[in-house]
A and B are shown apart, each in its own frame.
Chain A
């Protein structure tokens, strides 16, 4: 798997030219002198522009950044084979909140007032903390441009045991966490 990822990395690097997207979503420019620097990539009309730390900017071919993004997708897939992440597969339900995970798709549903917030689509693991057993996931993302992501939700789940996870995402926004049980 690691070889495949490295091969993908190299292939994509060639495709992407001097711009690549790192695993954490940041875009960097590989400079001719062998050094690199982080850039911000923004869309202006139909053009893609890289803004550099020194305040200068230049137009880049969107395909190069997009190719870099595809590398990121490939890198993110590796988490799906982690035992901790595999424990998420299945259906979970808590007080007004539920998840359903397969390897490729996820459904997040949360009761909000008299209706429900539902996000469904592909999911990726943004960050994995095996020590604290916390998985940061991104469900239903519509698009990504560097560290900018559009649509979907980011949730933080703590694995308690085979049948229990704790959603700690809303500890900051609502001051509470949700305990979810695996549905049989």
Chain B
């Protein structure tokens, strides 16, 4: 990728000097160190063989230009800092390149965002490399590095309380190995035509995928107390998909009470046309008041489906799902075909002490007979711009650790500047 070969200094210089009438140019970024360990047999917690760790640094330059035009360039670097010598045996992100070679221990960096956006009346156009947040194609931010897209997005607000969205996604660096992004070795390009990750997950020919993906959506607050959204996706030669969601905030009737309803449908096309359609529905009930958040949700996926109801940008296996019942850590279960799932969670911001959170999720699958339950407790504490989050996860899944439950401990350290 030519862009990845540019030096950071050159990119920053381009970003700054190219703009003649600049209101504001901000340099910012963050540094992260993530660590995780589990006691899956035959290892104990904190054993090198069952631990994974990585560091990341992001530097971003954003600018407000004249006439409502803005832009951003961001680069991210990954490094194990040599942790593999003593403490860990795996990484969080960028484990393999697109050819399947393990490159996780290499120092690697790439431009993860480089976009310009302009406003024309009530219409905003954003073009370039960017992160996306749509129900079936999005940047997964749970990992130390998020996947991004080469895309063009148009947002229109001419209708009252309504946003119309049209998007074209050409390429993405989402990896189908559960680690969100492809790694880079010797300047290889981690971005590939959108949809390739899905095809690769079925061991089909990713080189035949072209055309990217198109999406249109309407997000409206015209219905009292409700935010409703309808999305349609056309991933060229891969699938057509629908996502419908309504989130209700009963603010006037009962402050703090919220509810939600989701429906998703994926119809495989092209190389995977022989697969049956997938669908899912989910409901949620929640209560949010003064730092306390309670939620309960249930979801069910169609028994005949094959493609999971999850992020299409990171393949299929282990992709995160936007279904309300999604687990905290073990992605890939909730959106799988023929799965019933339920989830309860509670979060509380104990002012000056910590942000506390707990979630229990249970899934059952009658087709595979693989059941999974996960219980997670987290505590997050900020010290100025530094945030530390400690997580404990208990996993009991029929297809993990020989069917025996096991413990996982994770530490997330983030410094923003």
Q: Which residues of A contact B (CB under 8 A)?
A: 24-25, 93, 95, 98, 107, 109, 112-121, 126, 140, 142, 147-154, 171-176, 183-184
Contact = CB atoms under 8 A, between A and B. Distances in A.
Interface residues of B, number: 50
Given A119-B385, A174-B133, A183-B290, A114 B25 contact: no
B356 to A, nearest CB: 13
Given A98-B349, A115-B412, A149-B27, A142 B417 contact: yes
B289 to A, nearest CB: 9
A137 to B, nearest CB: 12
A174 B134 CA distance: 9
Output the residue of B24, B25, B412 with the most chain A CB within 10 A.
Answer: B24
Contacts, number: 103
A98 B133 CA distance: 20
A147 B417 contact: no
Contact of A120 (B24, B130, B384): B384
B401 interface: no
Secondary structure at the B interface, as helix, strand, loop or mixed, is strand
Contacts of A126: 24
Contacts of B290: 93, 183-184
24 contacts: A24-B24, A93-B291, A113-B142, A113-B143, A114-B142, A114-B389, A116-B380, A117-B387, A118-B384, A118-B385, A118-B414, A119-B416, A120-B382, A120-B385, A148-B16, A152-B28, A154-B26, A171-B155, A173-B130, A173-B131, A175-B134, A175-B165, A176-B133, A183-B290
Contacts of B355: 116
B24 A172 contact: no
A172 B382 contact: no
B240 interface: no
B70 interface: yes
B385 A93 contact: no
A39 to B, nearest CB: 13
Contacts of B23: 24-25, 147
Interface in B237-268: none
A109 B382 contact: yes
Nearest to B17: A40
Contacts of A151: 27-28, 417
B409 interface: no
